[in-house]
Chains A and B, each alone.
Chain A
């Protein structure tokens, strides 16, 4: 079984619908992230969480919300989906390995992605 599991893997929905993407991990990591991948733009950070009580906005959080239900679970919601939210979404985790001032040395572990299409 994958260490970082995302559900659903594929979803087609209509404009205005509420969508939730779920992520669960068995790596025991405290830190979890949601990224969005668009062709030609790489990955952009939507939200991140360093523990159950810590939620932070990333660079493109507008139109999204998150919930950290437990250490192992981090869900991403689109309250009212719009077509330009069509993208591939990735959940990732990391631990505190090598955190240092001014940067980090930790590795991100990614799920296999959730492809969302908003019509």
Chain B
């Protein structure tokens, strides 16, 4: 079975500072990993995903994540936070069986202050 742990339910950074949101996963098969973002009063939208190949994945809005198999991690980073990055971020791992059953983490709420 797959599972996802997001370290830190709330993260606060200053505008212009580095954003680091942590995600660790457990999977009995090679995982496919995702980061989704949820802006206030909206549904989730895909930021980026790792399937195979290059372990450093670039997404929208300047975000990127690196798949580290040895650490079972898929942390999300952005070099310089913007006020518009304030949102909730969810890490997810694909379920087994070849279907689109994503297992989500509990989420990390990012606050960006001036």
A9 to B106: give the CA distance in the assembly, Å: 23
A4 to B42: give the CA distance in the assembly, Å: 12
User: Smallest distance from the beta carbon of A32 to chain B beta carbons, Å?
Assistant: 10
User: Are A41 and B43 touching (Cβ within 8 A)?
Assistant: no
Q: Which of A31, A41, A48, A104 has the most CB of B within 10 A?
A: A104
User: Smallest distance from the beta carbon of B88 to chain A beta carbons, Å?
Assistant: 9
A103 touching B43 in the complex, CB below 8 Å, given contacts A42-B90, A42-B104, A42-B105: no
User: Are A103 and B106 touching (Cβ within 8 A)?
Assistant: no
Binds B, one of A11-19, A60-68, A71-79, A107-115: A107-115
* Chain B residue at minimal CB-CB distance from A107: B46
Within 8 A of A (CB), among B64-114: 90, 94-102, 104-107
A101 to B98: give the CA distance in the assembly, Å: 5
Chain A interface, number of residues (Cβ within 8 angstroms): 31
Interface: A34 (CB within 8 A): no
A94 to B101: give the CA distance in the assembly, Å: 10
Interface: A43 (CB within 8 A): yes
Interface: B18 (CB within 8 A): no
A4 to B43: give the CA distance in the assembly, Å: 10
- Hey, which bits of chain B sit against chain A, CB under 8 A? 4, 6, 9, 29-32, 36, 41-46, 49, 51, 90, 94-102, 104-107
- Hey, which bits of chain A sit against chain B, CB under 8 A? 4, 31, 33, 35, 40-45, 48, 50, 58, 90, 92, 94, 98-108, 110-113
